[in-house]
Amino acid sequence: MIQKANHGDMRITLEVWRQAAPGAPGKFEEYEVVANEHMSFLEMLDVVNQQLVESGHEPVEFEHDCREGICGSCALTIDGKAHGPRERTTACQLHMREYRSGDRIRVEPWRADAFPVLKDLVCDRSAFDRIQQAGGYVSVNTGAAPDAHAIPVKKESADLAFEAAACIGCGACVAACPNASAMLFTSAKVSQFALLPQGRPERERRVLAMVDQMDAEGFGNCSNHYECEAACPKGISIQNIARMNREYTRALVTQRSN
C-alpha cells in the first residue's frame, strides 16, 4: 500500500460516477482516500484504484495517457466543472494542493449526447474525429510541397494560427456548454487554416463540410455563454467562433454566387 502518514497527507471523500456499459444505469459511489498535496489528481485516482483492486473490486475506468496536458485523453468533470477548478489546466495537470483535507469531490464523465458514456468516466468522442475528417486539413500529397520559404506568412497570422491549432481535442468545451456545442473545437481548426495562405484554396469547402458534420453529430449551437473558453485548458479564444461564423457566411455567399 502506498498510504503512509506523511507530511502533506489529506483525507478526501470522492463521489465517482460508476456505469457498467453504454446505456446502463449509472450511479455515484463513495470512496475514502488518503492523498498527498503533491499528487496529481489522477495519481489520487490511481490510489483509489489500487485500493479497489487489492480488495477485489473493479477499478474506476478513466481515460488518461500523457499526464502532461497535451494528449487530450483525460475528460473528467470535477465538481461540475470540466477539468476541475483550475483555469487553463487539464485534469491530469491538476494537483491535490488545490484541495484541503476533508474535502468532498464529485467526479463524473463529460455529459453530452454526442459523447455517450462507454463505462464509468470514459466517453466516446469519435464525433470529434469525424468533424476533422470532413475537412480539417490542407489537401497536399506528400512530396508535392514547394520550398518552405516560398510563401512568407505574417508573424501575427502564424501566431494566431498556432494559438487556434493548440486545441487538444479533449471535449471540455462541449462538456461546459449548456448547448453541448462543438463550435469552439470546430472553429479552432477552421481558424487555423483561414489564417494561413496554405488553407485558403479550400476555405469555403472546409467550413461548410465541418459545420455540416458538427450538426449531424448532434452538437448544439453557440448562444454566446462563453463557458467553452473558460473551460478550455489551452485557452482557445471564442474569437475563433466569430471567425468561423464569418467564414461560414462568406462560404455561403460565395457558393451561391458560384
Partner 1 sequence: MTIADPPISTKLDSKVPGGPMEERWTRHKFDLKLVNPANRRKFDVIVVGTGLAGGSAAATLAEMGYNVKAFCIHDSPRRAHSIAAQGGINAAKNYKGDGDSVHRLFYDTVKGGDYRSRESNVHRLAEVSVDIIDQCVAQGVPFAREYGGLLDNRSFGGAQVARTFYARGQTGQQLLLGAYGAMNRMIQAERIAMYTKRELVDLVVVDGIARGIVTRHLVTGEYERHAAHAVLLCTGGYGNVFYLSTNAKQSNVTAAWRAYKRGAFFANPCYTQIHPTCIPRSGDYQSKLTLMSESLRNDGRVWVPKTKGDQRPARDIPEDERDYYLERRYPSFGNLVPRDVASRNAKSVCDEGRGVGPTGEAVYLDFADAISRDGKAAVEARYGNLFEMYERITGDNPYEVPMRIYPAVHYTMGGLWVDYNLESTIPGLFVLGEANFSDHGANRLGASALMQGLADGYFVIPATIASHLAGRTLEAVTTDHDAFKEAEARARSMADRLMSINGSRSVDSFHRELGNLSWEHCGMERTAEGLRDGIDKVRALREQFWSDVRVVGGSETINQDLEKAGRVADFLEFAEAMFNDGLVRDESCGGHFRAEHQTEDGEAKRDDETFAHVSAWEYQGEGQLPQEHREPLMFEEVKLTTRSYK
Residues 72-131 that bind partner 1 (CB under 8 A): 72-73, 86, 88-89, 93, 95, 97, 118-120, 122, 124-126, 128-129
Site for partner 1 (CB under 8 A): how many residues?
A: 83
| 174 touches partner 1 (CB under 8 A) | no
Q: Which helix (H) or strand (E) holds 6?
A: none
x/- binding map, residues 183-222, to partner 1, per CB under 8 A? Answer: ---------xx--x-xx-----------------------
| 32 touches partner 1 (CB under 8 A) | no
Cβ proximity to partner 1: between 94 and 222 the closer is 94
| 26 touches partner 1 (CB under 8 A) | no
**What's the first-to-final CA gap in the chain, in angstroms?**
69
- Taking the complex as a whole, the smallest distance from the CB of residue 156 to partner 1 amounts, in Å, to 9
Q: Which residues share a beta bridge with 105?
A: 14
Q: Quote the strand ranges of 76-127, DSSP E.
A: 76-78, 81-82, 104-109, 117-119, 122-123
Residue 205 contacts by C-beta under 8 Å, 6 or more apart in sequence? 135, 251
- Taking the complex as a whole, the smallest distance from the CB of residue 48 to partner 1 amounts, in Å, to 12
Cβ proximity to partner 1: between 105 and 222 the closer is 105
Cβ proximity to partner 1: between 139 and 255 the closer is 139
Give residue 70's identity as a one-letter amino acid code: I
- Taking the complex as a whole, the smallest distance from the CB of residue 120 to partner 1 amounts, in Å, to 8
Other CB atoms within a 10 A radius of the CB of residue 80 amount to: 11
| 25 touches partner 1 (CB under 8 A) | no
- DSSP helix/strand/coil, 103: coil
- Among the listed ranges 133-141, 224-232, 236-244, 249-257, the one in contact with partner 1 (CB under 8 A) is 133-141
**What Å distances lie between residue 109 and 54, 80, 123, 171, 174, CA to CA?**
24, 10, 7, 11, 12
